[in-house]
Homo-oligomer: A and B are copies of this chain.
C-alpha cells in the first residue's frame, strides 16, 4: 500500500505489487495497440481480442492515490463533479506493459494494469457477479444424506473449512460430525464463516419441546418442510442446527432441496410454476411483543430465470390476500409444491447424533422433522442464523489466501 503504482513489476507479472487491492490479476495477454477517440479507448490484445472502455469508466476506476484512498481502498472520486466534457485524450503502453491514459480537462494521468483491464472488459459481453460455487440441485437419488465433514478440523484447518463451505454452497446443506456438545458451540462454528444474524428468538436459540412454546418448533409436533422466518423481508440465508441431546423416540430430521421441488414443477406444470413465482402469499408472526408480516411468492427467480429463494412455511402463513380468481390457482400450486416436498424421493431423512451440526441455506433447503415423544427422553438442538453473503465472502477469502500461498 506504500507504493500505489499500478504498473506491473517485472518478474511477478500476475500480482499487483503496491496496488491497494487484495486481488491479483494474471496477465494472460499483453496490449499490442491502444487508441482513443476521446469518448472511448480501444485496446488490442496479443490474442487479437479488441476491448473498448469509456473515458468516464476509466477515470473513476483509476487506482492511484488521488482517486482511491490507499488506506481504506475506497474511492474518493466525486462522480457528481466529473466534468461534463471528460475525455480520454491520450493513451500509450508503457515499458511495464501498463496502459497509461491521460484525461482532459482535469489533466489527470493514470496507469491501468493489463491483467485488471482484461478481467474487467465489459465490451465483449457483460461481465457479472460470478459466484465461485453455484447451486447443484439434488434429490434423494443423488444425495441421500448431507455431505459430511469433521467438526473439529474446520475450526483450525482452512482446507477442511473450504471443503465444508464449498459443499454447502453447492448442495445447500452440509453436516459436521463431532462438534463438542457444549452450549454456544454453534455460534463458534458460525463465526468461522462470518457475522451471526440475530433475531427475536435470540443470538443462539434452543429448539426443544417446552410447556410454553412460542413456536411450533418448540413442541413435539411434526414440522412439515419449511424455511425459517418467512415473515421477514430477508429470510436468513444460513441456518445452523447443533444436536446437544437426542434420546427421544422419533424426531428424525427431514431436508428437501426447495429448488429441486420447484424445478420438478417447472418441467411439468407451467401454470403452477407461474402461480408459485408470481402470486404473493402472506406470512404473519404475531407474538406478545412482535408482529412481523411479509408478502412474497413462494418461489422467487433471478432476472435470468435461475432460483433466488423459496419461502415456504405453512404454520406462519396468514390469510391469502390476492384477487379472487388467483386464489384457486395459488392454492393448487402451493399444494402441489407441498406434496412434492413430502415425497420420499426428494427427502433426506436421518436422526441427529449428539455433536452433529447441520448448516443449510435457509432460502433454498426446506427443513422439517418427524413428531417425537417428548415424554420419552430429551431432544435439544441449538441453532443460529447467518447469511449467504457471509458464506460467499468467506469462500472468496479462502480462495484469495490459497492464491497468495501458492504464489512464487
**Taking beta carbons and an 8 Å cutoff, which residues of A are in contact with B?**
21-23, 52, 54, 56-57, 60-61, 69, 71-80, 82, 120, 122-123, 125-129, 194-200, 212-216, 218-219, 221, 224, 232-234, 282, 286-295, 314-317, 319-324, 327-328, 331, 334-335, 338-339, 341-342, 387-389, 392-393, 396-397, 400
State the Cβ distance, A198 to closest chain B Cβ, in Å.
Answer: 5
Q: Which residue of B lies closest to A233 (CB)?
A: B389
Most central of A23, A60, A393 by chain B CB within 10 Å: A393
Q: How far is the CA of A72 from the CA of B314 in the complex (A)?
A: 13
Q: Is the CB of A216 within 8 A of B321?
A: no
Contacts of A194 in B (CB 8 A): 200, 290
Contacts of A322 in B (CB 8 A): 122, 126
State the Cβ distance, A63 to closest chain B Cβ, in Å.
Answer: 11
Q: How far is the CA of A396 from the CA of B234 in the complex (A)?
A: 19
Q: Is the CB of B122 within 8 A of A323?
A: yes
State the Cβ distance, A269 to closest chain B Cβ, in Å.
Answer: 15
15 pairs across A/B with beta carbons < 8 Å?
A57-B327, A72-B214, A72-B315, A74-B216, A79-B335, A80-B335, A80-B339, A80-B342, A126-B321, A128-B321, A194-B200, A233-B387, A290-B397, A291-B397, A291-B400
Q: Is the CB of B200 within 8 A of A73?
A: no
Task: Work out how many copies of this chain go into the complex.
Answer: 2
- Residue A286 contacts which of B22, B75, B76, B82 (CB distance < 8 angstroms)? B22
State the Cβ distance, A345 to closest chain B Cβ, in Å.
Answer: 15
Contacts of A57 in B (CB 8 A): 319-320, 327, 331
Q: Is the CB of B80 within 8 A of A341?
A: yes
Given the contacts A80-B224, A322-B122, A322-B126, A198 and B199 also touching, CB distance less than 8 Å: no
Q: Is the CB of B327 within 8 A of A393?
A: no
- Residue A290 contacts which of B123, B198, B321, B393 (CB distance < 8 angstroms)? B393
Given the contacts A80-B342, A126-B323, A396-B291, A74 and B316 also touching, CB distance less than 8 Å: yes
State the Cβ distance, A72 to closest chain B Cβ, in Å.
Answer: 5
Q: Is the CB of B393 within 8 A of A292?
A: yes
Q: How far is the CA of A74 from the CA of B126 in the complex (A)?
A: 46
Q: Is the CB of B128 within 8 A of A295?
A: yes
Q: Is the CB of A122 within 8 A of B80?
A: no
- Residue A122 contacts which of B22, B72, B292, B324 (CB distance < 8 angstroms)? B324
State the Cβ distance, A16 to closest chain B Cβ, in Å.
Answer: 13
The 5 A-B residue pairs with the shortest CB-CB distance in the complex, in nearest-first order = A80-B338, A127-B321, A291-B396, A74-B315, A234-B234
Q: Which residue of B lies closest to A291 (CB)?
A: B396
- Residue A129 contacts which of B214, B294, B387 (CB distance < 8 angstroms)? B294
Contacts of A232 in B (CB 8 A): 387, 389
State the Cβ distance, A126 to closest chain B Cβ, in Å.
Answer: 5
Q: Which residue of B lies closest to A335 (CB)?
A: B79
State the Cβ distance, A405 to closest chain B Cβ, in Å.
Answer: 15
Q: How far is the CA of A388 from the CA of B399 in the complex (A)?
A: 34
Contacts of A316 in B (CB 8 A): 74-75
State the Cβ distance, A225 to closest chain B Cβ, in Å.
Answer: 9
- Residue A21 contacts which of B123, B216, B286 (CB distance < 8 angstroms)? B286
Q: How far is the CA of A195 from the CA of B341 in the complex (A)?
A: 32
Q: Is the CB of A71 within 8 A of B213?
A: yes
- Residue A292 contacts which of B23, B126, B127, B389 (CB distance < 8 angstroms)? B389
Contacts of A397 in B (CB 8 A): 289-291
Q: How far is the CA of A182 from the CA of B270 in the complex (A)?
A: 59
State the Cβ distance, A270 to closest chain B Cβ, in Å.
Answer: 20
State the Cβ distance, A281 to closest chain B Cβ, in Å.
Answer: 11
State the Cβ distance, A213 to closest chain B Cβ, in Å.
Answer: 5
Contacts of A122 in B (CB 8 A): 319-324, 327
State the Cβ distance, A370 to closest chain B Cβ, in Å.
Answer: 13
State the Cβ distance, A161 to closest chain B Cβ, in Å.
Answer: 13
Contacts of A317 in B (CB 8 A): 60, 75
